[in-house]
Structures are given as structure tokens and as C-alpha cells.
Chains A and B, each alone.
Chain A
Amino acid sequence: MTRADAILEVDALERRFDVSAPWLNRLLENKPRRVLRAVDGVDFQIERGKTLALVGESGCGKSTIAKLVTGLHPPSDGAIRFHGDRDRVQMIFQDPYASLNPRWRVGRIIAEPLRTLRPETTDAEAEARVAELLGIVGLSPTDAVKYPHAFSGGQRQRISIARALAGEPEFLVCDEPTSALDVSVQAQVLNLMKRLQREFGLTYLFISHDLSVVRHMADEIAVMYLGRIVEMQPTADLFANPLHPYTRMLLDTIPDLERPNRNRSPMRGEVPSPIAPPPGCSFHPRCPLANDRCRTERPSRTEHVMGGRVACFAAEEGRI
């Protein structure tokens, strides 16, 4: 399936990491090689100008996908096809304290992608562009001469966004861009990101563990569990009609501020180690609907009668 207006297509993407003990230990203690499948056969497309969100808990592979898409890791298998200018992909990271060089002035940080993209840029042009970008993200042009330590977390994330915009991106990979921020600051940054998307026609791959944030930002949501996408639906449909039992459980963990102190059953168990995932459907040990088929056979993502794509035998067989 190829969408005509897809900006990014990912097919059967796999990324394996060798986490074996050192060679000598393997030899002496007779330990086998161990392979962690961080991303295990993932496919999705993103339409130009839209936001696809990847959600899931720690270790589900969502940040690895971000690194694969931006080329920070090569894929072990599968294909990433980008229908656009490969140079126009930028990334915003989670930690605004670690992602800005503390020894560089903000002006130099923001001008860096500009100088890489267009080496012919003069200093005066760069300076003017930096001032313009600072204005776009709601900072003052005079902030260009300051160092990152002079800024709060939210302001630093604005600087990261200005730096990403300096590369004139079409496509932005945002890995948990607001999870280090306070809620009121998070609201400021999320509003800024939505405005920039409208103004510049940006496409976002938005990675987050926070379903409320994702609901606000995304057009489509892919739910990940242990390296695979278990369900993918347009945002409103996913919240109205979640198909996978894992999605249902995740939705149930969102605290409901309208109905405080409601009674609910917390999700059972924990995410298993990705080094030794359970056989069959990897969610079966925590799933209330698991049967023998789920314990042995691995479901693949199929079109559901209700729309959306889900990898679950219970949903496929109508047991849910």
C-alpha cells in the first residue's frame, strides 16, 4: 500500500542490537549470543503535513525508530523511503539540557544547520535569520548572544525548535519533546509546535509515552509494544474505539480529571524483557483474552472490519 501523498514510508523495518556478553566470557562460560530486537518488523506511512504519533512504554522501540528515521542508526533490515529532500529532516530531543552545546552562544547553535545547509551564507545573513527564528519561537533576538544556561527548560526547548527550523525542514522527528517540562510550559511548547506546523506545512513524527499529549497533537496514532506496532488508527477513532487489548489498557491508565477517584482495575504485570520476548503474541502474558493460539502464533497487523489496523487474534476473531 502506497499513499500518493506520503512523505515517509517505512517497510518491514528491523533494528537488532547485539547484547551478547564479551567474546571471552561467551567462550569460557559457554554463553550464547544474545540479540535484542528493538524494532521488529514495523511499517507505516506519514502523509505530508500530518502528525503520526508513536506511543508506548519504555523499551517498546519508539525512540529507536526516531534514530532510524533520522539516520542516527542504520536499519538492520527493511526500508525507509523518504519522498522529499533528505537534508530537510530535523530532530527535537527530549532533554533540552543535554541537546544544546553549553559552550556555544544560542546564535551559533541556531545558525549551525543553516551553515551546513547553505555554506555560502554570510555572517550578516545568518545573524538576520537567527533573529527571525528567535522571534518565530517566541524569544527575543537579543537572546542570540546568551549561553544556554541562561534559559529555563521551556525556553531551551524553544531554542531546539528554532535550531530545527533553521534547517528549513519538511519533516521533524520529535522524541518526547515536552516530557521534561512542566505542564504549563508544555502547553506553550505544544501550541508553538501546532502553529509552526500550520504555518510551514511541517510533517511530524511525534514520539511520546503520554497519551493525553498525543491525543492533542496527532492525526494518527501507532501503539507500540515490544518493538512492534500493535495497532494503528486515526486519533479520534483510536480513542473512541480502541481495538487492541493493550491499547484499551493504556487508555484506561489516563487519569480522568473529570471523574476523580474513579475505581478502575490497574493493568496487570509489566513489560517483559525485549531480549527474551514471550512466544506468540508478545502481549499474551498480560492479556485477559489470550488463548492457546495467542500463546503460540504471532498475529500480524490486518485491516479490521471496524477500520484501523490491529495485530490481535481476539480482535480478528471477534472475541473482544
Chain B
Amino acid sequence: MTDTVLDVRDLRVEFPTRRGVLTALDGVSLSIRRGEILGVVGESGAGKSMTGMAILGLLEPPGRIAGGEIHLSGDRIDTLSESEMEQVRGRRIGAIFQDPLTSLNPLFRVGDQLIETIRLHTDLTRDQAGQRALGLLREVGIPAPEDRMNSFPHQFSGGMRQRVVIALALCAEPELIVADEPTTALDVSIQAQITALLRQLCTERGTAVMLVTHDMGVIAETADRVAVMYAGRLVETGPVDDVVRRPQHPYTAGLMGSIPGLRSDVEELSMIPGSMPRLDAIPPGCAFNPRCDKAGPRCRREAPRITGEGAACWLAMEGSTA
């Protein structure tokens, strides 16, 4: 028995459209161990949320998984039926989204929402479920949880609401939590509280966390390992220290250089020329090659792939782009 919770192998997601099939994810391979936080980072349209949604089985039609496998603690889940997947979601995989208001029902008391979710996934009685709900609210740091059980979502602040959503995701003690931009809607001081909470839960409960965000700072503070995405492909994976300090892929390096405030004395931020290609215009070879100043003939011809750690770049993998 291994402690690998999530294992995604060569995942491919396609969207059939009138003008042909768009490949939204291409050859994405990831794994997360027990108690580990994997940060998935990228800019808008890089496919990071799409990866999370594919794992949750929540791809918007006509999007479909066209290749690859997703395993949860050894069980293959990408081939499950919709009703089987409903059993997995909530019970074995918890989800936290950007806007806490969309995850909470505005008409029900927070305590009742927690109790209902717990009873849906376990055999506990209402009283036992109530005790567990109270314990969860306490664990996620809601002050006076006994009183707050009877409050409605609108009576909580944004940061407290996100804590409630985290409690909701923890109801059935899932093996994996997919957190999609959980701190993006929050103020900076609250952001730090939420990421600290995620880290603490991950360490104490041994939950594996997939943290999807555009914010390299959040990743650096929270994640153990990081996967950088670009145009629906994985460009670099590795321990957060290595990727942040010694990025191997030219895109990762450019991304790091464009973050202001690292060195206060720079007059110009480094820029990556151009912008990410649209899904219907991904160039052949390495998707980054038109924006890369190190690109050679091989980069324009053949797409580099990584399955484990490292950078999907011919220069980093083979020392040459010829």
C-alpha cells in the first residue's frame, strides 16, 4: 500500500465544437501524497481549474475526458458513472471554491447545512452529526461555534464564510480536497489566515490538498510541491523551493520575474512578450515556443512532456533545442 492519494496520468480533456475539437488539457500527469499540498498555478486559461473540475467529475458538457486515467487511493475514478461519482464527491473528495456564497445555501442555517452533509455521507444520528458539526466549526476557527450554528451564511464575513465552506468540505473526512482559488476573493490579512488553516488541517488530518491558484505568493506560502501549467499543459513540477528559486522552464522563470516587489530596486519588471495562445491556436511543438527566446527547431516540431518532476523544456531535459 502506498500513500499516494491522487494519481493523474496523461490526462486529456477535449471540447468538441462546430469548428473542430479543442484540446483543453493535454498530457497532464500529477500525483499528491497523504498530507501533501500540491499547488497548481498558471494564468487565466492555463487549464488549472479545468484539471480540478476533471478530477471532481464536474466538467461542463460538451467537455469530456478523452484520454488518461485518474486514480484516487488506487481506485480508478474517471470511468465511474455520474451516480457513482456523486458518492465519491463529498465523501472522498471535498471541494472548496473561490466564492464561498455559491457553496452555501442562503436559506438554511449553517449548522443545519453541516449536519445534513454529515448525515448524507455517514451513518451518524442527528445528535452525533450535530456534535461533529460543532467540532468542525471549532476546528476551522469559528469563534463561539455554539451560537454560530444557528446563523445564516449572510451573517458571516467573507473570511468566516470561507471557513464554513472548509468545514463543509471536511464533513465526511475526505482523502483529497480540491481547493480552487480559495483565497482570491478575500483581503490579504484574511488570505493568510485561510492558507494557514489549510496547511494546519492538511498536516493534522493527513488530507491531500490540490490548491489551484493564480497567485504564486499563495503557493510559495502554502504548498509543498508545485505544478505550473500553460495552455492546458504541464510545464514544470517540483518542490516549491526549487521551482520558485531555480525555475527550469523559461515560462516559469518569466512568470517569477514579472512578480513585482521581490527586488525593490528594479525599475522595469521582466516581461514575457505576447500572451498565452487561445485553445484553437496552440502552436505545434512546445506551446510556449513563439514567446520563448531560447526556442530552437526542435521546440517548434516536437512537444516536450514530463510525467514526474522537472521541466517540460527540451533545453532543460536534453540541454539542446536543435
- The residues of A with any CB-CB pair to B shorter than 8 Å are 57-58, 152-154, 182-188, 190-191, 194, 209-213, 215-217, 235-236, 239, 249-250, 252-258, 260-262, 264, 266-267, 270-271
Contacts and interface: CB of A to CB of B under 8 A. Distances in A.
Given A152-B275, A260-B221, A212 B261 contact: yes
Given A250-B189, A257-B217, 5 more contacts: A184-B272, A191-B268, A213-B261, A216-B260, A266-B192
A187 B258 contact: yes
Contacts of B17: none
Contact of A261 (B43, B187, B240, B275): B240
A273 B151 CA distance: 18
Sorted nearest first, the 9 A-B pairs with minimum C-beta distance are: A212-B261, A255-B217, A187-B258, A216-B260, A182-B43, A187-B269, A57-B187, A260-B220, A266-B192
A184 B43 contact: yes
Nearest to A249: B189
B21 interface: no
Interface string B252-270: 0011111111101011111
Interface in B69-92: none
A216 B261 contact: yes
Specify which of A249, A252, A267 lies most central, judged by the most chain B CB atoms within 10 Å of its CB: A267
Per DSSP, chain A at the interface is helix
Interface string B196-222: 100000000000000000111110111
Contacts of A249: 189
A261 B220 contact: yes
A192 B127 CA distance: 61
Contacts of A58: 187
A183 B190 contact: no
11 contacts: A182-B43, A182-B44, A184-B255, A184-B258, A184-B275, A187-B269, A216-B261, A260-B220, A266-B193, A270-B160, A271-B187
A255 B220 contact: yes
Nearest to A262: B221
Contacts of A154: 275
B141 to A, nearest CB: 10
A57 B189 contact: yes
Contacts of B18: none
Nearest to B42: A182
Given A187-B260, A255-B221, A266 B271 contact: no
